[in-house]
Homo-oligomer: A and B are copies of this chain.
Amino acid sequence: MDDQQPTITGFDSSDLGSTAILPGIPASVSPAALTNPKADLAAMAELERHLFAHRYARIGMECYGGTIDPEAATADRGEALSILAEEDQALLCSPETGALLERLSSASAVLSPIEAAQVRILKRDRADLVDVPPEVQSSMLKLITESDDVWRRAKAKGDWATFEPYLDRVVDKIREVAGYRNPGADPYDVMLNEQEHDTNRAFYDRFFAQLKDVVVPLLADVRASKRKFARSPFEGRFDVSRQWELARDLVRLEGLDESKVFLTSTEHPFSDGLTSNYAVIAAHVKENDVISNVYTMLHEGGHALYEMGVDPALDRTSLKGGTSMGMHEAQSRFFENYVGRSQAFAPRLIEVMARQFKGQLGRVTPNQLYAAVNRVEAQPIRTEADELTYPLHVMVRYEIEQLLVDGEATAKDVPGLWAKLYHDYLGINVPNDARGALQDTHWASGLIGYFPTYALGSAIGAQLKAAMVREGMDFDAVCASGDLTPIHSWLRSRIWRYGRSRDTNELMLDACGEPFSPVYFTNYLTEKFSSIYGL
């Protein structure tokens, strides 16, 4: 496991903008243009070219920034990123672009489906930015570049105090931006909606309530069960450079085109895609935790599969990328859990692991792996949680970020809240801030409203898997074969290829024949853990 956040949506600076006038978009729109959709399409293509170049530059800078760039360059990179974002905001938010998109909107008859989707997404991206003053947007971007850097050092030292003022500043800034975006609305709803369109606090409250209803009693039953599973076969020290070799092997096992993946290391794993020709996976390897490496790779690989599975025709348009964070996490947690933690896949996985660690893992059985990675255990790290306790980790964050955004708590209160909620939900004591409130990078990166998408993504993934099975796929046989092509094909044809051109709701309806429902996820958890724990 170990997460990531493809920076695709989130606080995506390609969604930003000032007042430059783009070559190709006439500064004063002549009335003739109103009846000249061809010229308007050319102008949109010109707009997309510039947005593409900035997006390509920006994603690269963000990916390398968190992995290989010197710390000393953080402020320079932050400045460069915020200027590019300012340019994008200027391009998108100019009155000329507004008029152009309105004209194209009303000329839908002459648009190809891709062009129509471009117009829709560009309008939405524009609407997200048009009321945010460029200097506010820009100061937010500089702040989160700096804050992410401060967080990295604070985590390394387990030093909450250093990070604390940054978290308050980030919350204030994100709230300010939300206020401009949608002045009447609940700021947290605005943030949730940015990560996953058409969601809000009411939606997630219901969703988490449904999860709780199942997870809490199930967890109690599991705890009462006499069955215990060992993780001992995976204890010990696993050579770091061999673990990187294993990471490469997992890229292949997952079915990624290795030649298009740059694999690098970072503090907090993530993945992103520049085009369908180029994905970055930033992972981390811990000498004493080979399991963490494996599930990090499967998770990030899922994100990369989505990014590289987008129709190449969309590469240089605003439709490139995953449609939302929920859908992105659905892909990552699909490969991490529905494939990676399945009994059927365990023989393939242990085979690949034992190839690098013959001495240590050569005699470990698939069932031992399956037991070790599905052992339910309350422990402090979200990214290392089993599938059953995972939603509880998310709920802790969901509650705390609401208190922060609502002004009912400040950063100073967070470690205390963290300790209390981990005790209430998971029954454990938080050992320290590094393994507590500093463990995740999200808030430092301005990603407030992101955490709930992990749980949502898990639930979407369960529903997608159910649809595959309903359509006749022998899911276990596919996993057992080690050739995941049928799963790729299914997801590519229903989800990946559309990029941002379809929203989650539309994709779910088309892929599953019904709207999103958390019941597949709760059923999956009940069935899986009842079986494992003999409930």
Contacts and interface: CB of A to CB of B under 8 A. Distances in A.
B260 A73 contact: yes
B27 A73 contact: no
Contacts of A72: 257, 259-260, 277-278
Interface in A259-317: 259-262, 264, 274-275, 277-278, 315-316
A277 B71 CA distance: 9
A76 B274 contact: yes
Contacts of A275: 73, 76
A83 interface: yes
A22 interface: yes
Which of A27, A75, A278 has the most chain B CB atoms inside 10 A of its CB? Answer: A278
Interface string A7-49: 0000000000011111100010000000000000000000001
Contacts of A73: 260, 274-275, 277-278
A57 B84 CA distance: 9
The A interface is mostly helix, strand or loop, or mixed, namely helix
A460 interface: no
A52 interface: yes
Contacts of A87: 50, 53, 87
Contacts of A84: 53, 57
A56 B79 CA distance: 10
Contacts of A21: 20-21, 27
Interface in A479-524: none
Nearest to A57: B57
A77 interface: yes
Contacts of A69: 262, 278
A475 interface: no
Given A52-B79, A53-B79, 14 more contacts: A20-B21, A20-B23, A21-B21, A21-B27, A52-B83, A53-B84, A60-B61, A70-B259, A70-B278, A72-B259, A72-B260, A73-B278, A75-B277, A76-B275
Q: Which 10 A-B pairs have the closest CB atoms?
A: A53-B83, A57-B57, A73-B278, A56-B80, A72-B277, A53-B80, A18-B23, A73-B277, A19-B23, A76-B275
30 contacts: A18-B23, A19-B23, A20-B22, A20-B23, A21-B21, A23-B86, A27-B27, A50-B83, A52-B79, A53-B81, A53-B83, A53-B87, A56-B76, A56-B77, A57-B80, A64-B64, A69-B262, A69-B278, A70-B260, A70-B262, A70-B277, A72-B259, A72-B277, A73-B260, A73-B274, A73-B277, A73-B278, A76-B274, A76-B316, A87-B87
